[in-house]
């Protein structure tokens, strides 16, 4: 009888020429076809499919008649939270259309449905920083009021995720069974709040030894001398090769060959001197640098912004 009353009232309020919004355009053919299909399925007792078809019809075009039938379909399946949401949407349409008679009828239906709506209540501990906490139930953000959040739910399993800045993510799956039940989920105190702990500051480094810049300069100069020795050696070999070509015998009368041989000797002596000097200066610079580290073991060795640690 109740289903018959809903059907009659739906036809009277939302049928031809009686849509919630009197100036609303005619319903689209797709929404109308789905609406009629949903009613046929519901009359045949195929409630799950009927609810799906009616919900799709309402998605294409929200209408009071569709929402009342959809709410009835949900109610017959025991999905009272979904039925409540459909009725609330229908009530909003009635208010926007200025239909107090439809609004009163829908309010009566809500009064009958609400006692059967189950609720899932998430309670947070006092240690939670509420302004930095987000609670989600199946991906939907829950509004927190006084350290708790509550939503109406249909029977089933729900994933609850609580995230507080500075604390580990907390999640749990909750099962809600039956109608008119209240399931309370208490979230444990967070393991960590506030800024993350930081490592103690390292002690200040001792000032560098005055021998350090001298040692670094010695390494630089010694390296330059060694490079110069390599270059002089290359010239010596090239010049001696030219001299050997012109004067293959010990006795030679070719002035150019003799001059080349003399140049090769000079380049060779120069390369030898540069190698010796570069090795001595480089060794001295390295010794001074090591000595500076011995005198100031905690001081970094710096040069032109680079930091070298031993």
State the SS3 of 122-191.
EECCCCCCHHHEEEEECCEECCCCCCEEEEEECCEEEEEEEEECCCCCEEEEEEECCCCCEEEEECCCCC
Question: How does pLDDT run across 208-260, given as a tens digit for each residue?
Answer: 667 677 767 767 887 787 787 788 777 778 777 776 777 776 666 677 767 77
DSSP 266-302: HHHHHHHHHHHHHHHHHHHHHHHHHHHHHHSTTSPEE
Range of weakest confidence among 19-28, 173-182, 252-261: 19-28
The chain-wide mean pLDDT, for the chain, equals: 78
Range of weakest confidence among 63-77, 168-182, 207-221, 231-245: 207-221
Q: How many of the other CB atoms lie within 10 Å of CB of 256?
A: 12
CA-based diameter of the chain, in Å? 137
Q: What pairs with residue 140 in β-bridges?
A: 137
Residue 206 lies in a domain: no
Is the domain of 271 the same as that of 230?
yes
Asked whether residue 109 carries a pLDDT value surpassing 80, the answer given is: yes
Q: Which of these three, 84, 114, 144, is where a domain ends?
A: 114
Q: What pairs with residue 307 in β-bridges?
A: 302
Question: How does pLDDT run across 130-165, given as a tens digit for each residue?
Answer: 778 889 999 889 888 878 889 999 999 999 999 888
pLDDT class of 18 with cuts at 50, 70, 90: very low
pLDDT class of 305 with cuts at 50, 70, 90: very low
Predicted local confidence at residue 250, as pLDDT: 61
Q: Give the chain's domain count.
A: 3
Residue 15 lies in a domain: yes
Which one has a higher pLDDT value, 247 or 66? 66
Is the domain of 226 the same as that of 295?
yes
- Alpha carbons 124 and 143: distance in angstroms, whole number: 12
pLDDT class of 300 with cuts at 50, 70, 90: low
Is the domain of 22 the same as that of 42?
yes
CA angle 209, 211, 216 (to 5 degrees): 110
Asked whether residue 12 carries a pLDDT value surpassing 60, the answer given is: no
Q: What pairs with residue 120 in β-bridges?
A: 151, 183
Predicted local confidence at residue 5, as pLDDT: 46
Asked whether residue 20 carries a pLDDT value surpassing 60, the answer given is: no
- Alpha carbons 50 and 300: distance in angstroms, whole number: 78
CB 286 within 8 A of CB 272: no
Is the domain of 28 the same as that of 87?
yes
DSSP annotation of 224: H
How far CA 179 is from CA of 13, 52, 95, 140, in Å, comes to 30, 21, 29, 21
Predicted local confidence at residue 198, as pLDDT: 46
**Which domain does 53 fall in, by range?**
2-114
């Amino acid at each position: 009888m109740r289903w018959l009353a809903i059907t009659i009232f739906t036809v009277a309020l939302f049928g031809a020429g009686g849509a919630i919004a009197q100036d609303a355009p005619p319903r689209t053919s797709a929404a109308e076809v789905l609406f009629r299909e949903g009613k046929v399925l519901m009359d045949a007792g195929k409630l799950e499919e009927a609810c799906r078809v009616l919900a799709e019809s309402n998605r294409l075009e929200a209408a009071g008649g569709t929402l009342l039938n959809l709410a009835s379909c949900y109610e017959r399946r025991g999905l009272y939270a979904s039925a409540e949401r459909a009725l609330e949407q229908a009530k909003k349409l009635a208010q926007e259309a200025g239909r107090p008679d439809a609004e009163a009828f829908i309010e009566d239906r809500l009064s009958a449905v609400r006692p059967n709506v189950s609720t899932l209540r998430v309670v947070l501990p006092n240690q939670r920083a509420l302004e930095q906490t987000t609670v989600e139930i199946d991906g939907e953000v829950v509004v927190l009021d006084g350290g708790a959040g509550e939503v109406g739910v249909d029977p089933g399993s729900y994933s609850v995720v609580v995230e507080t800045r500075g604390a580990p993510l907390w999640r749990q799956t909750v099962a809600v069974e039956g109608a008119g039940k209240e399931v309370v989920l208490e979230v444990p105190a967070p393991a960590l709040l506030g800024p993350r702990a930081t490592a103690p500051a390292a002690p200040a480094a001792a000032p560098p030894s005055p021998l350090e810049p001298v040692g670094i300069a010695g390494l630089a100069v010694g390296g330059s001398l060694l490079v110069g020795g390599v270059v002089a050696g290359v010239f010596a070999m090239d010049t001696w090769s030219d001299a050997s070509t012109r004067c293959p015998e010990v006795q030679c009368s070719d002035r150019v060959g003799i001059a080349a041989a003399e140049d090769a000797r000079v380049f060779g002596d120069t390369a030898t001197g540069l190698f010796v000097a570069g090795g001595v200066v480089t060794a001295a610079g390295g010794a001074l640098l090591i000595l500076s580290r011995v005198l100031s073991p905690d001081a970094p060795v710096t040069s032109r912004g680079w930091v070298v640690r031993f």
